[in-house]
Chains A and B, each alone.
Chain A
Amino acid sequence: MNRSFDKPAMLMGVVALVVSVLYFLDLSGVVQVDEVVTLVTLWIALAAVGLLRAGLRLKERLSG
């Protein structure tokens, strides 16, 4: 596995996954999804990607 990851692909993949999962959650009636929910979820997911990337960099730096 690469030490880091391809950032654009990861970001777009996360956006695609979040949108599709939110759609199915809304369809099943588990949560009522609107624009605000979508944008906040995307924001959190993208921030999580940033954290993951920072964690990978830190791990790489610590390992020498």
Chain B
Amino acid sequence: MTAPDATAAPRLQRPYGTPFRGVCSALARATGTDPVLWRVLFAVLVVFDGLGILLYLLGMLLIPYEGQPHSLAERLLHGPDRRMSRPEMWLLIALAIVGIGYVSHPRSAVVIAVAGVVGYLMWRGRQDPTFPAPAPPAPPVFPEVAEPYVPPVSWTPSPPRPRSPLGGITFAVAAMVAGVLALVGVSGVDMPVAVPIAGALAVVGIGLVAGSFFGRSWGLFLLAGLLTLSLGVATGVQPLIDDGVGKRDWSPTGTASYRLGAGKGVLDLTNAESGDITAHVGFGQLLVEVPTGRSVDIDARNDYGDLDLFGKSYGGRHQHRTLGSSDATLHLHLSVRAGEIKVVQQ
């Protein structure tokens, strides 16, 4: 039998008595660094669209407290005690709401990657037998002059509640719905990849609402969370599949419509005298080159990012501007999901 390796990395555990919820202290202990560094890192990440908040919430979900064998996520997944306290319930709700805000955001990939790393660290910790087991509670100490110790009344645990069939039924129906929708998609019907996920999510949602009255099923709780995240990721990925990725050069001569999933789209209007031209870029830059002296009417929309029209930056998502005479015959409809719209005069 081999001796335990004293140099093994300590398991991620949140200590008590820290300023917040101990995530930074846990990371600092595990990496042998100062907790202040991690707090500064999280604070800086908060500036990036609140990314630090989401990561901290994930840390609270995945990292157990000192002395507790399992994190909240592990407890809900594997049991045996799947009950949640009120703060834990609010943590999950906050995580779901903040997560939904992120899933259609470009940085969702970063979030998922970091969550994966934390999950891996925890999994590695579970596999390592050198981690010390939590210390048993100290026996009570009775002062000599105190009253004689009276043992507590014998307590027997209540029998476990019978398993509700609702979880199994809901899971089966959700799988069936997702499978049928996937088959429809495979059979040639034009359908986004997220439709089977959304179908399954709707069934799980109904199952959870019904379960809240007729019997709980924590498996459905987690399944709903996973499906919601998957739906967001699939929705974000769909434009990349439909519209492509890379650099595109467009030179219309009249009315035209162009789309690009991610990358850089360059719209050269040298040959276009009149017409309606629509150009959309999902994630990246849309550069429009307008010849000098050409009158154009521009309708530009950028959900997340910069809007630069003829060297002037604009705030807000939506701008309508006219260059040249007000009766311009060339109408541009420009949109970017996240990135930059830049219109320059050549």
Contact = CB atoms under 8 A, between A and B. Distances in A.
A16 B89 CA distance: 16
B201 A5 contact: no
Contact of A12 (B194, B214, B221, B235): B221
B93 interface: yes
A27 B227 CA distance: 17
Interface string B206-230: 1111111110110011001101100
Q: Which one of A7, A13, A14, A16 has the greatest number of beta carbons of chain B within 10 Å?
A: A16
B220 A19 contact: no
B89 A19 contact: no
Contacts, number: 102
A5 B192 CA distance: 35
A46 B194 CA distance: 24
A19 B211 contact: no
Size category of the B interface is 35 or more
B204 interface: yes
A1 B214 contact: yes
B120 to A, nearest CB: 26
A12 B195 contact: no
B67 interface: no
A19 B100 contact: yes
Contacts of B211: 6, 9, 13
B89 A10 contact: no
A16 B212 contact: no
Given A9-B216, A11-B93, A16-B224, A23 B206 contact: no
Contacts of A1: 213-214
5 contacts: A6-B211, A11-B93, A16-B228, A20-B201, A35-B101
Q: Which 4 A-B pairs have the closest CB atoms?
A: A13-B208, A16-B205, A17-B205, A10-B212
